[in-house]
Structure 1
């Protein structure tokens, strides 16, 4: 495998992992009766809508069907991808729930 192919595979892997992180975020929101698009917009007010978030929303299930996603799991996943602004907004929502 040459350097370009290796770079392409690494990028594809990262993008796949990033989509999983977005899905975890979206499902956590559904599980807590929160709108993921509103939370995302609060974290990133200068960004337009996120197409990956729209895709993830189509893959979420009802909170009755979903498994539990702990707050710690979500915050850990967000930190892995450097989504500190979104983690801050999520942390604020967690505080409101308690």
Structure 2
């Protein structure tokens, strides 16, 4: 019984961290006037729309003042195993220079 509770806590923590990662990605896109859904679709063309991404965009709870630097964004994406999205972001960083 206790193991199940620990598993649930780990899953909940991962979901919270994933949501934060998505919020940072959406804010990074806003900082550079980029469409996060378009970049996500470019990275993962076979996937359906990402529900967490859509939820974060719709909630838009005001990270406006937060500037996420390029290296941090790439590190966060890679930490969560989003290498394809990190690759697309890296391309955009080069394009923006």
TM range (shorter): over 0.9
Q: CA deviation at 1:97?
A: 0.4
Is the alpha carbon distance of 1:60 and 1:88 closer, same or farther for their aligned partners in structure 2, counting shifts above 3 Å? Answer: farther
Aligned to 2:24: 24
Across the two proteins, how many residue pairs are aligned to each other? Answer: 96
What is the alpha-carbon distance in structure 2 between the residues aligned to residue 60 and residue 88 of structure 1? Answer: 27
Matches for 1:6-17 after TM superposition, within 5 Å: 6-17=6-17
Q: CA deviation at 1:56?
A: 1.1
What RMSD over aligned residues (CA atoms) do the two structures have, in Å? 1.4
Unpaired segments of 5 or more residues in structure 2? none
What is the alpha-carbon distance in structure 1 between the residues aligned to residue 23 and residue 47 of structure 2? Answer: 19
On the 8 A contact 1:41/1:47 being kept in 2, the answer is yes
Unpaired segments of 5 or more residues in structure 1? none
Aligned to 2:68: 69
What is the alpha-carbon distance in structure 1 between the residues aligned to residue 85 and residue 61 of structure 2? Answer: 19
Aligned to 1:91: 90
